[in-house]
Amino acid sequence: MDIEHLFAELHSLPSIPKVAQELIQQFDNPSANLESVARNIERDPVIAAKVLRLANSARFRGAREATSVEDAAMRLGFNTLRTLVMASAVTGAFKVDTGFDLKAFWLNSFRVASIARTLARQLQLDADAAFTCGMMHNIGELLIQAGAPDFARRLNRQPQREAAAHAAEETLQLGFGYPEVGAELARRWQLPQLIQHAIGYQARPSQAPDDGVYARLVAQSVLIGETIELDGVSEQAQQSLEGPLFEEVDLSKLFQALPAVLEADKAFAELLG
């Protein structure tokens, strides 16, 4: 099987809703304002419901309940809305039926995205782009689940592996892994090359056709996510990450920030899927 055959087996390409596509473009428009964003959100009942739920969650709830999308948008702010719309659009595009734990998958994706955004701020990179790269870093896995279900069911019965080993097993059996499939989906969705390269080269950032900064960021975020899932946000976890991949990262500063970041993002994670 090659990637073209995999996409052919999908019958129809997973798609981001038109309203969500327009919203993502609107967030990139310097002249956009919260009022116009709220009007667009109102056109998609699923996104609108999530915005209202988040605005009335324990993290954001004010003295009174937000009863309109515009109220909720004002309470959440531009950056939070962007994060929610992007996460909602991507998570809503996929359905699989292979015994795959979709909730755990999205929780992991969101954790990696949150870590990537935090790292990007420390490294003075684009935090929104980093979040999108993190959110979509393993999106190719869902296409493999949908387009190669027999293989996916066998893989799902195996013990959980680290990301690198998982991708290597897919490459051994299929000829490609989830990074390459995710990059091809990003290309077909006409996402920026920065995102395509970050996804496709996350296992080999030095080979990325650009400077590989965002591919490296994804690699760092995935490894941090796996480490803290095993050892928590601990000194032991921090020490185990020290090495060439993190030579430009202030791990001490990062680990001080992570508990608050991950706790704050729980409200988002509860809205996934």
Average pLDDT (135-149) is: 86
**Dihedrals phi, psi of 148, to nearest 5 degrees:** -130, 60
Q: Which domains does the chain have, with CATH numbers?
A: 1-11+97-273 (1.10.3210.10), 17-92 (no CATH)
Give residues with Cβ within 8 angstroms of 63, minimum separation 6: none
Task: Judge if pTM exceeds 0.85.
Answer: no
Higher pLDDT, 9 or 178: 178
Using pLDDT thresholds of 50, 70 and 90, give the confidence band for residue 112. very high
When mean pLDDT is compared over 55-64, 80-89, 173-182, the highest value belongs to: 173-182
CA-to-CA distance for 25 and 166, rounded, in angstroms? 33
* Residue 13 confidence (pLDDT): 66
CB 257 within 8 Å of CB 118: yes
- Check whether 140 has a pLDDT greater than 80: yes
Better pLDDT: 28 or 113: 113
The CA distance from 158 to 18, in Å, is 37
Average pLDDT value over all residues in the chain? 85
Q: Kindly tell me if the per-residue pLDDT of 223 is higher than 90.
A: yes
Residue 160 tokens read as 């959980």
Local structure of residue 203 (DSSP, 8 states): T
Q: Read off the pLDDT of each residue in 100-117 and give the average, rounded to a whole number.
A: 87
> Would you tell me the crossing angle of helices 140-147 and 178-188 to the nearest 10 degrees?
100
Residue 153 makes CB contacts below 8 A (sequence gap 6+) with 98, 99
Q: Please answer whether residues 138 and 105 qualify as being in contact, where contact means their C-beta atoms are separated by less than 8 angstroms.
A: yes
Q: What is residue 197's predicted lDDT score, i.e. its pLDDT?
A: 95
Q: Output helix, strand, coil percentages for the chain, rounded to the nearest 5.
A: 70, 0, 30
From residue 93, how far is each of 89, 200, 218 by CA, in Å? 7, 20, 22
